Chains A and B, each alone.
Chain A
Amino acid sequence: MAKKIYEIMNTKLETIPADATVYEAIEKLIDKRIRSLLVLPKDEKDRPGVVTVRNIIFKVLAKNLDPHKVKISEISSKPLITVSKEATVEDVLALMEKYNIARVFIKEGDEIVGVVSFFDIMAHILIERAKS
């Protein structure tokens, strides 16, 4: 039976407020040695987003903008691409390919409970190969 995504997802979600600066995000990414942050909604009407190293490079640093002045909400990607925690690894891979994204967020009901990146999927495939 295909493995469910919750079995390999990363449940440690690092977040950042939408009104934080890009510089604060950079500090957090470097401190935690991660490549993306979940952007918290500004208010009840807003939706969560994601800010990645890619966003920061192409939308701020490569354009010589000041990361102290640009707000996260200006560069974050929305809406989040999410799947249910019951989805299979294959479902997630299909989504990654379709939207050309490196990570998919995992939902349980309306709550985001985890994230799966290319690296997690590669590790999963290598482990399955070793088990066979």
Chain B
Amino acid sequence: MLEKLLGGGKLEKKVLDTTKKYLQILRSAMECLKNVFLTENIEGTYCIDALEREADSLRREIISIIYEGAFLPYIRPNICNFIEITEKAFDALKTCAFEFRYLNKDLFQKIKEDVLRIANINLDMSEILIKAFSALIEKNNIREKNLAIRIYEKRVDEIKSDIADKIRKWEITNFWDGKNISEFIEALTKISDIIEDASDYLYIIDLSLK
């Protein structure tokens, strides 16, 4: 639909294919983070930085193809905004991986189960976001994908509140331990917020094309 409506030229196709690749990298980064939590392997956190760099280069490619003239002018900012929203998810993933390197692992054990639940949800959400993007292009039901993402986001909010309840009961005497765990959880739970924003944005693009 998006291709048809906007001409479906070579440049447009390139933008859509590259965006799909970009979202696939986001999904890989989510999987990478989940594996880091499972294995508690610090070295694994560096895969996020590598994937972020790869995504960064794709993002620049997408923006430059749009600058070359892909899509009608009124749709260009929408695609750019969508890419910029998802870029924030990479920032949150990177912060999360960085904080994990310095996290007090005894404290981590106490919330590992909740953290893994969030990581699993983030991964599922990124998969649904890819499907939502495909649904936008193929003019399928994007509303259902958007709803599922909202359900997942609420679930993450609930888990975040459970974690906060647990953490408030701990006596953390080391400043850095407290700062690390606080920033780690903030970044981890922010990912689902960003994916929800990206999904909402796709939904708005879908509505604006009707």
Contact = CB atoms under 8 A, between A and B. Distances in A.
Interface of B: 124, 127-128, 131, 144-145, 147-149, 151-152, 155, 158, 162
Contacts of A131: 124, 127-128, 131, 148
Given A131-B124, A131-B127, A126 B148 contact: yes
B132 to A, nearest CB: 8
A130 B127 CA distance: 10
Interface of A: 12, 123, 126-127, 129-131
Contacts of B128: 127, 130-131
A127 B152 contact: yes
Contacts of B147: 126, 130
Q: Is the interface of A mostly helix, strand, loop or mixed?
A: helix
A130 B145 contact: yes
Nearest to A130: B148
The residue in B131, B151, B162 that gathers the most chain A C-beta atoms within 10 A of its C-beta is: B151
Nearest to B152: A127
Contacts of B162: 12
Contact of B124 (A12, A123, A127): A127
A60 to B, nearest CB: 29
B6 to A, nearest CB: 25
A126 B141 CA distance: 13
7 contacts: A12-B162, A123-B151, A126-B147, A127-B128, A129-B144, A130-B144, A130-B145
**Which residue, A12, A123, A129, A130, has most C-beta atoms of chain B within 10 A?**
A130
Contacts of A130: 128, 131, 144-145, 147-149
A123 B127 CA distance: 17
Nearest to A7: B120
Contacts of B155: 123
6 smallest A-B Cβ distances: which pairs? A130-B148, A127-B148, A130-B145, A123-B151, A130-B144, A130-B128
Nearest to B143: A130
A130 B199 CA distance: 12
B30 to A, nearest CB: 15
Nearest to B159: A12
B103 to A, nearest CB: 23
Contacts of B145: 130
